[in-house]
Copies of this chain bind each other. A is one copy, B any other.
Amino acid sequence: MNYKRIGIVGGVAPPSTVLYYQQIIEGFQGRLGRDHYPELVIHSLDMGEINQYFNKEDHDALSDKLVQVIDGLSGAGCDFALFACNAMHMVFDRVRQRVQVPMVSLIQAVLEEVHLRQLKSVGLMGTTFVMQGGIYRNPLEESGIKCLLPDEEEQAWIMEVILRDLQLPDIPEETVTRLLKNVERLSEKGADGVILACTDLPVAITEEMSPTPLLDSTKIHVKATLDYALGEVQ
């Protein structure tokens, strides 16, 4: 069986890395059959260390770390790599330029999905780094697509629950309800769809739970990854 070996930079956070692993295997088997298991490598990072780089905006140290990790994945036989985390994409271009293997971008995959669905105005929920930064906003606005955010207070709350509740084995029901309420408000503000722009969010809320279309960044990234690994997309 011919496929490119996937290298996953994960651990930020662990539950979403499990989702990636499970969805990649399910997707692989869905395309090739039940007996097929992809060989792949996951480098699970120390989330505490990575959050320090984010908080200090130390993109140099973050990039150095990620380059080293991807070199290790490449040494372990991976043909390409991906960040199983939205926020890490702040340094995607810098890292990509310094590594030997190709990388599949989550942001690019989600943007392609936004265009495919012909959305004119999208809501964005994720860590504050992602909501307040430009990784989605800039390319969206350049394409004439509006980018809407939750109220400031809710942004702070979303950040808090990503770091706290979404790491728990059982997510409190109030948290799920309030996350869905935020989706609803973004829809009332005019969003045609809402990007779950943190790979931890689908641990709590899924497309089926919301009348407003949700763009699950984990699912979209996994699909792009399998397309690339199986050579269906160049």
Contact of A41 with B40 in the complex, beta carbons under 8 Å = no
**Interface residues in A149-207 (C-beta closer than 8 Å to B):** none
- Complex Cα distance, B18 from A35, in Å, reads 19
5 contacts between A and B (CB under 8 A): A11-B39, A18-B21, A36-B46, A39-B46, A41-B72
Taking the closest CB of chain B, its distance from the CB of A118, in whole angstroms, is 33
- Complex Cα distance, B14 from A42, in Å, reads 12
Of A53-61, A73-81, A99-107, the segment with at least 4 beta carbons within 8 Å of chain B is A73-81
**Interface residues in A5-23 (C-beta closer than 8 Å to B):** 11, 14, 17-18, 21-22
Query: Which chain B residue has the least Cβ–Cβ distance from A7?
Result: B76
Contact of B14 with A18 in the complex, beta carbons under 8 Å = no
**Neighbouring B residues of A14 by C-beta, 8 Å:** 21-22, 25, 37
Q: Does A38 contact B (CB under 8 A)?
A: yes
Contact of A47 with B37 in the complex, beta carbons under 8 Å = yes
- Complex Cα distance, B40 from A17, in Å, reads 12
**Neighbouring B residues of A39 by C-beta, 8 Å:** 11, 43-46, 49
**9 nearest A-B pairs in the assembled complex, by CB-CB distance:** A72-B76, A75-B75, A39-B46, A42-B42, A37-B47, A37-B46, A41-B43, A40-B44, A14-B25
- Complex Cα distance, B38 from A40, in Å, reads 20
**Neighbouring B residues of A48 by C-beta, 8 Å:** 35-37
**Neighbouring B residues of A72 by C-beta, 8 Å:** 41, 75-77
**Neighbouring B residues of A77 by C-beta, 8 Å:** 68, 72
Which residue of B18, B44, B49 is within 8 Å of A41 (Cβ)? B44
**Neighbouring B residues of A36 by C-beta, 8 Å:** 46, 48
**Neighbouring B residues of A41 by C-beta, 8 Å:** 41-44, 72, 76
Contact of B43 with A21 in the complex, beta carbons under 8 Å = no
User: Interface code A90-109, partner B: CB below 8 Å = 1, 0 otherwise?
Assistant: 00000000000000000000
Query: Can you add 7 more A-B contacts, CB < 8 Å, to A37-B45, A41-B43?
Result: A11-B37, A14-B21, A14-B22, A21-B44, A40-B44, A72-B75, A73-B76
